Amino acid sequence: MITDTERMNSPSHGDIQVVEDVISRLHALISIAHLNIDLVPRLLKNGVDIEIESSVGAIKIPACAGCKAYKKDPSEAPYTMYKVTGHPKYYLDCLHCPICFILGDCNSDGSRWASAYALAMKGKKDKFIEVAKAAITRLKAAVARWSS
Amino acid sequence: MSVRLSDMDSPSGKRAVISGPSGTLTLWYSYETVIGFQDGNLPRVVSENLWSTTTGKHLNAISIKKDRIKRAEFERLLAAVMAKHIK
């Protein structure tokens, strides 16, 4: 059986692609947040396709499942985010809606998702953008580490 | 639901077209402020100018001065249309 450490040290091409997709989603969310932070939680709640002309192109962000999909059986959770963060509480499904991940404190059971959602709901635009950019930096560092 | 973001005549002016179950809502932004919107094919609603020359140019690009409404009324209508389109 492959260990968690081995998983972290052996990213697949699919892992890298997933993380690069998330980086694009975060850039798209930052663009929306700059215009109107109130739109961010409303759009994520529904799921949204974002198209930004002449920059990142078309981005699809499915509605957040609140990470509850794996609550019943966490052993089924994929490990891409574990490889990024080194902590098993981040699961691949978090990447579908990066609002949890940008705060870096998703508990995988949906409890922290509520607080992340609240951050955008409260209109804390500067904080939202700050942590989104920090998340991009972390993700890029992971990709660079994997590629070296 | 989908959002399409594009620049107006300059990067400081943006247009966001939001499409969803309730139809299409177009929002025009100057910097980070909504200055106009259009709900489907209904008449465009545009705010009076309370800002800079640049925002004035953005307003001129989407409206003529006599058609603009008071900001308070604009914000009331904007809140209603946002609630309709983005629940």
Q: In what order do the strands lie in the sheet with B23-30?
A: A57-61, A48-52, B2-7, B13-20, B23-30, B33-39, B45-46
Query: What is the 8-class DSSP label of residue B47?
Result: B
Per the document, the length of chain B is 87
Q: Pick from A31, A51, A54: which is nearest to B2 by CB?
A: A51
> Of A29, A37, A39, which to mutate for an interface test with B (greatest number of B Cβ within 10 Å)?
A39
User: With an 8 Å Cβ cutoff, are A47 and B86 in contact?
Assistant: no
Q: Which of the four pLDDT bands, split at 50, 70 and 90, describes residue A87?
A: very low
> Of A42, A59, A125, which to mutate for an interface test with B (greatest number of B Cβ within 10 Å)?
A42
State how far residue B87 is from chain A, nearest Cα, in angstroms.
Answer: 6
Give contacts of A52 with chain B, Cβ < 8 Å: 5-6
- With both helix axes pointing from N to C terminus, report the angle between A39-46 and A111-121 in degrees, rounded to the nearest 10: 140
Q: How do residues A109-139 score in pLDDT, each as one tens digit? A: 444 444 455 667 788 888 878 877 877 787 7
Q: How do residues B28-53 score in pLDDT, each as one tens digit? A: 999 989 999 999 999 999 999 999 89
Q: Pick from A34, A38, A48: which is nearest to B3 by CB?
A: A48
Question: How many interface pairs between A and B have CB atoms less than 8 angstroms apart?
Answer: 51
User: With an 8 Å Cβ cutoff, are B14 and A32 in contact?
Assistant: no
- pTM of structure: 0.74
Q: How do residues A1-52 score in pLDDT, each as one tens digit? A: 444 445 455 566 666 776 777 788 778 888 888 888 888 877 776 677 888 8
Going through B31-85 in order, the beta strands assigned E by DSSP cover 33-39, 45-46
Are A106 and A116 in contact by the 8 Å Cβ rule? The answer is: yes
